[in-house]
């Protein structure tokens, strides 16, 4: 599904170059549950953005579903993102004046789906994340955990094959964070590929594959047979 080969990325910080990614080679199969861990500045989020087609490498090659992405135009990359990839961030990025239903509906409206299609799809994903009874609530009427579940529903309403989560529980208490992770893991069990960036070692250990980054490089890449919640 995903293949990166010798990916490099350098940013300029003032007048000084910062090598965010150094010769990253990585293969991720469909349906995997993968965590990316490491200290701040190690390149975790840059790698996630690269995989999510939000950024381009300075050199190297990236194939997504056997498509060489470096040859794609920005319009083609945006189309591929919209059809295949869902994003979840530490900040919820919801629109305060819209209800939970309306926030989740936005990607479908941008895709010009019919009202009937939108209503059915939104109802399904809100039920999936356990928020059917909160569909008419606005963000200021929801808890942090509920807000993140709305964000998850919005991320999956287009039925992506890949879900990218960057510190998805970073703004949540332990109880709410646990609820969010349970939703993400259920989606993975249903077949969605899940890649999660986290500083939380316990959270990262729940994944079935653990990548640790240091100074823009992959320091270790370990596959475990079962996630920790299955072996507990």
State percent of the chain over pLDDT 70. Answer: 97
User: What does the pLDDT look like over 142-186, one tens digit per residue?
Assistant: 999 999 999 999 999 999 999 999 999 988 888 888 989 999 999
Residue 225's pLDDT band (boundaries 50, 70, 90)? Answer: low
Domains and their CATH numbers in the chain: 2-231 (3.40.50.300)
Q: Which stretch of DSSP H or E encloses residue 179?
A: helix 174-189
Output the pLDDT for position 52: 96
In the chain, the percentage of residues whose pLDDT exceeds 90 is 82
CB 101 within 8 A of CB 126: yes
Look at residue 226 and tell me whether its pLDDT is greater than 70. no
pTM for the model stands at 0.90
Mind giving me the DSSP string for 127-146? HHTT-GGGTT--GGGS-HHH
What's the mean pLDDT when you consider all of the chain? 92
Tell me, what's the pLDDT at 231?
Answer: 35
Helix (H) or strand (E) segment spanning residue 222: strand 217-223
Can you say whether the dihedral through the CA atoms of 194, 197, 201, 202 is positive or negative?
A: negative
Q: pLDDT by residue (tens digit) across 45-102?
A: 999 999 999 999 999 999 999 999 988 999 999 999 999 999 998 888 999 999 999 9
Q: Which two tokens stand for residue 198?
A: 């986290």
The pLDDT of residue 227 is above 60: no
Cα dihedral across residues 97, 101, 107, 108: positive or negative:
negative
79 contacts: CB under 8 Å, gap ≥ 6:
none
Q: What is the per-residue pLDDT for 133?
A: 94
């Amino acid at each position: 599904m995903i293949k990166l080969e010798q990916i490099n990325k350098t940013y300029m910080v003032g007048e000084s170059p910062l090598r965010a990614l150094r010769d990253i080679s990585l293969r991720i199969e469909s349906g995997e549950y993968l965590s990316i861990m490491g200290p701040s500045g190690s390149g975790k989020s840059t790698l996630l953005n690269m995989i999510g087609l939000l950024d381009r490498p300075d050199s190297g090659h990236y194939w997504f579903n056997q498509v060489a992405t470096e040859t794609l135009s920005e319009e083609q990359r945006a189309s591929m993102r919209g059809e295949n990839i869902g994003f979840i961030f530490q900040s919820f990025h919801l629109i305060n004046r819209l209800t939970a239903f309306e926030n989740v509906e936005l990607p479908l409206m941008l895709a010009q789906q019919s009202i009937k299609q939108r209503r059915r799809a939104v109802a399904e994903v809100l039920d999936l994340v356990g928020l059917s009874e909160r569909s008419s609530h606005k963000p200021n009427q929801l808890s942090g955990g509920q807000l993140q579940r709305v964000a998850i529903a919005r991320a999956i309403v287009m039925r992506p094959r890949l879900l990218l989560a960057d510190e998805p529980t970073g703004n949540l208490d332990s109880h709410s964070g646990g609820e969010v992770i349970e939703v993400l893991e259920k989606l993975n069990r249903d077949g969605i590929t899940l890649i999660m960036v986290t500083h939380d070692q316990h959270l990262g250990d729940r994944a079935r594959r653990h990548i640790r980054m240091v100074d823009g490089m992959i320091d270790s890449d370990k596959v475990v047979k079962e996630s920790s919640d299955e072996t507990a």
